[in-house]
Amino acid sequence: MKARVLCLVAALGAVLVGLTACQEDMARITVQYATMKVIEKGDTPAAQQQRAARIHQIASDAEGLLKGVTVTVNLLEAAVREQVGKLNLSPSDGFLVDALISQVVSDLQQKVGTAALNEDQRFKVAKVLDWVISGAAQAGG
Protein backbone atom coordinates (compact mmCIF):
# COMPACT_ATOMS: atom_id res chain seq x y z
CA MET A 1 0.00 0.00 0.00
CA LYS A 2 2.88 2.37 0.76
CA ALA A 3 4.23 2.18 -2.77
CA ARG A 4 0.72 2.66 -4.17
CA VAL A 5 0.36 5.94 -2.34
CA LEU A 6 3.76 7.12 -3.57
CA CYS A 7 3.00 6.19 -7.14
CA LEU A 8 -0.45 7.72 -7.09
CA VAL A 9 0.80 11.01 -5.72
CA ALA A 10 3.72 11.14 -8.16
CA ALA A 11 1.55 10.17 -11.10
CA LEU A 12 -1.10 12.77 -10.28
CA GLY A 13 1.58 15.44 -10.23
CA ALA A 14 3.18 14.26 -13.45
CA VAL A 15 -0.06 13.94 -15.39
CA LEU A 16 -1.40 17.31 -14.32
CA VAL A 17 1.59 19.20 -15.68
CA GLY A 18 1.00 17.79 -19.16
CA LEU A 19 2.71 14.87 -20.85
CA THR A 20 3.38 13.96 -24.45
CA ALA A 21 1.70 10.79 -25.75
CA CYS A 22 4.88 8.75 -25.28
CA GLN A 23 5.39 10.07 -21.76
CA GLU A 24 1.77 9.31 -20.98
CA ASP A 25 2.22 5.70 -22.10
CA MET A 26 5.27 5.37 -19.86
CA ALA A 27 3.38 6.94 -16.95
CA ARG A 28 0.51 4.49 -17.47
CA ILE A 29 2.87 1.51 -17.53
CA THR A 30 4.66 2.76 -14.43
CA VAL A 31 1.44 3.29 -12.47
CA GLN A 32 0.01 -0.08 -13.44
CA TYR A 33 3.28 -1.90 -12.75
CA ALA A 34 3.67 -0.30 -9.33
CA THR A 35 0.05 -1.08 -8.48
CA MET A 36 0.52 -4.71 -9.44
CA LYS A 37 3.79 -4.99 -7.47
CA VAL A 38 2.06 -3.75 -4.32
CA ILE A 39 -0.72 -6.29 -4.78
CA GLU A 40 1.75 -9.12 -5.46
CA LYS A 41 3.35 -8.52 -2.06
CA GLY A 42 0.35 -10.18 -0.45
CA ASP A 43 1.44 -13.45 1.14
CA THR A 44 -1.46 -15.49 -0.21
CA PRO A 45 -3.83 -15.26 -3.17
CA ALA A 46 -6.54 -14.17 -0.73
CA ALA A 47 -4.32 -11.40 0.63
CA GLN A 48 -3.57 -10.29 -2.92
CA GLN A 49 -7.26 -10.16 -3.76
CA GLN A 50 -7.91 -8.15 -0.60
CA ARG A 51 -5.16 -5.67 -1.54
CA ALA A 52 -6.54 -5.38 -5.07
CA ALA A 53 -10.04 -4.73 -3.76
CA ARG A 54 -8.77 -2.06 -1.31
CA ILE A 55 -6.77 -0.27 -4.02
CA HIS A 56 -9.73 -0.42 -6.38
CA GLN A 57 -11.99 1.06 -3.69
CA ILE A 58 -9.59 3.92 -2.89
CA ALA A 59 -9.19 4.82 -6.58
CA SER A 60 -12.95 4.60 -7.16
CA ASP A 61 -13.58 6.85 -4.15
CA ALA A 62 -11.09 9.35 -5.55
CA GLU A 63 -12.87 9.29 -8.91
CA GLY A 64 -16.09 10.07 -7.07
CA LEU A 65 -14.39 13.04 -5.45
CA LEU A 66 -13.56 14.40 -8.90
CA LYS A 67 -17.23 14.34 -9.88
CA GLY A 68 -18.77 15.57 -6.67
CA VAL A 69 -17.18 18.89 -5.75
CA THR A 70 -14.93 21.63 -6.96
CA VAL A 71 -11.47 20.06 -6.88
CA THR A 72 -8.39 22.04 -5.93
CA VAL A 73 -4.81 21.00 -5.28
CA ASN A 74 -5.47 21.50 -1.57
CA LEU A 75 -8.47 19.16 -1.69
CA LEU A 76 -6.42 16.49 -3.46
CA GLU A 77 -3.65 16.91 -0.90
CA ALA A 78 -6.10 16.51 1.99
CA ALA A 79 -7.60 13.37 0.46
CA VAL A 80 -4.17 11.79 -0.10
CA ARG A 81 -2.98 12.71 3.41
CA GLU A 82 -6.15 11.21 4.89
CA GLN A 83 -5.45 7.89 3.14
CA VAL A 84 -1.78 7.99 4.13
CA GLY A 85 -2.81 8.53 7.74
CA LYS A 86 -4.64 5.19 7.69
CA LEU A 87 -1.58 3.21 6.55
CA ASN A 88 0.30 3.07 9.87
CA LEU A 89 3.62 3.86 8.20
CA SER A 90 6.98 3.55 9.88
CA PRO A 91 8.56 6.91 10.81
CA SER A 92 10.98 6.72 7.87
CA ASP A 93 8.24 5.82 5.37
CA GLY A 94 6.03 8.56 6.81
CA PHE A 95 8.84 11.07 6.37
CA LEU A 96 9.36 9.99 2.76
CA VAL A 97 5.65 10.09 1.90
CA ASP A 98 5.24 13.49 3.56
CA ALA A 99 8.21 14.89 1.62
CA LEU A 100 6.88 13.49 -1.66
CA ILE A 101 3.37 14.83 -1.07
CA SER A 102 4.76 18.24 -0.16
CA GLN A 103 6.91 18.35 -3.30
CA VAL A 104 4.08 17.31 -5.61
CA VAL A 105 1.71 19.82 -4.00
CA SER A 106 4.28 22.58 -4.40
CA ASP A 107 4.82 21.68 -8.07
CA LEU A 108 1.08 21.52 -8.72
CA GLN A 109 0.44 24.83 -7.03
CA GLN A 110 3.07 26.45 -9.24
CA LYS A 111 1.40 25.01 -12.36
CA VAL A 112 -2.26 25.22 -11.35
CA GLY A 113 -2.33 27.70 -8.48
CA THR A 114 -5.04 27.51 -5.86
CA ALA A 115 -7.91 27.61 -8.34
CA ALA A 116 -10.16 24.66 -9.06
CA LEU A 117 -8.86 22.12 -11.53
CA ASN A 118 -10.27 22.65 -14.98
CA GLU A 119 -12.02 19.88 -16.92
CA ASP A 120 -8.85 18.83 -18.74
CA GLN A 121 -6.95 18.51 -15.46
CA ARG A 122 -9.80 16.54 -13.89
CA PHE A 123 -9.83 14.26 -16.92
CA LYS A 124 -6.10 13.60 -16.53
CA VAL A 125 -6.45 12.80 -12.83
CA ALA A 126 -9.34 10.44 -13.62
CA LYS A 127 -7.18 8.77 -16.26
CA VAL A 128 -4.45 8.04 -13.71
CA LEU A 129 -7.03 6.62 -11.32
CA ASP A 130 -8.29 4.38 -14.15
CA TRP A 131 -4.72 3.14 -14.60
CA VAL A 132 -4.58 2.24 -10.90
CA ILE A 133 -7.90 0.42 -11.13
CA SER A 134 -6.74 -1.43 -14.25
CA GLY A 135 -3.50 -2.49 -12.54
CA ALA A 136 -5.49 -3.70 -9.53
CA ALA A 137 -7.85 -5.68 -11.75
CA GLN A 138 -4.96 -7.32 -13.63
CA ALA A 139 -3.10 -8.32 -10.48
CA GLY A 140 -6.10 -9.22 -8.36
CA GLY A 141 -7.67 -11.60 -10.79
Q: How far apart are the first and last CA of the chain?
A: 18
**According to the model, what pLDDT value does residue 21 have?**
66
**According to the model, what pLDDT value does residue 12 have?**
58
Q: Report the range out of 27-36, 60-69, 81-90 with the highest average pLDDT.
A: 27-36
Burial class (CB in 10 A: 0-12, 13-18, 19+), 54: middle
Confirm whether pTM is higher than 0.85.
Answer: no
> Does residue 64 register a pLDDT over 60?
yes
**According to the model, what pLDDT value does residue 7 have?**
53
**Average pLDDT, stretch 37-59?**
83
